[in-house]
Structure 1
Amino acid sequence: MTDTAHSPDRIAELLVHVGRAARSEDARADLTAVQWACLRFFARANATTRTPSAFASFQATTRGTASQVIKALEMRGLIARRPSPVDGRSVRFDLTEAGRHLLKSDPLGALSGLLGAMGGVERAAFLATLSRLASGLAEIKNAPAFGTCRDCTHFAGSGGAGYCACMDAALGADEIDMLCASYRGPKGAHRTTRTSDVNTQGQTP
């Protein structure tokens, strides 16, 4: 018998709905939803990932569309371009003081508040589930996966700092929880099935 109360379709639809509701705009919004996403991305990404191409991949959009969004934020003085620390021919984008100030009124704040009200164990389990879903979906669609160094298979922790095998570089404590375009999640994430996911008939829902 199908468990419609916990069906994958219902969960997927609810995830999409929560995302849309959290990013919904009103007449008082300072930025559009995609501009907020861009500002948030450059605030959360590490130095080598704060590029137009990385944002385009993260947003699953074209480079041209991403460049237009970035240009709009740059013209408003919310982000500023800097030479890339890796390749002097390319640029990265950092938030300005105005950008950091505006981010304090991020519409995602309401959802963040609800997540913050969760217990630590529940929140950690929820994050692990969402991270596995994100990695699995990227693998299925053959798309870049984004995640933090802490959750990456390239990462090796050492005290409060760490090491990235992909970049062959040491990581400071402030870099470990930033988004990285070189992130690699566990392989086969979309095929992972826990014993608790199997019903009494021995079938997965």
Structure 2
Amino acid sequence: MLKPISLETEKVKLTPLTENHLEALFKAGSHPDIWRWVFNNYCENKEKLALWFKNTAQFNQNEQIVMAIIDKTYGTVVGTTRLFRLDPHNQSAEIGHTFIAKSVQKTYVNTHAKYLLLNHAFEDLNLVRVTFCTHEENRVSRNAITRLGARFEGLAYKQRKLPDGNFRNTAIFSITDDQWQNIKAKLTERMQTTETA
């Protein structure tokens, strides 16, 4: 079972997403480029965001924890991410459903946010595997996942039906517990030595 928890580095804080975050999240999700490869632009309008929060972000809290990403430099919500599909028997979960405001993409924000979730997954929850999935053609997401140190495992063909009726080929990546300490050291070094990690 996933318990609500706040996690933070010097620059980024992850905290369970609440209704109080929605106004800032709506602004963070305003750029259309964010949604090119995503099934559902839930920041299209405030009504849609409210429904997403109620029906998706709050869905099955035993298997997922949905986080607001806060850039501590400005004290504002710059996106959301989650640890989900928790499988206690197989000690695994997935990290995803992430979006980050266009203004802070390719900065320290994603590295710090993912570091926090990975560290929580491996060191607090004692998981042995964390999976990342993205659209086969989403190069920005694939590059970001690769930069974390995740291994590309392959493509799952026609893995998910899209709202337009087409099917998505999904690129699957993973990090396992035996990789974590090495990846943790590299991420820690990156976070300490560069402003744009």
Q: TM-score range by the shorter chain?
A: 0.3 to 0.5
More helix by share: 1
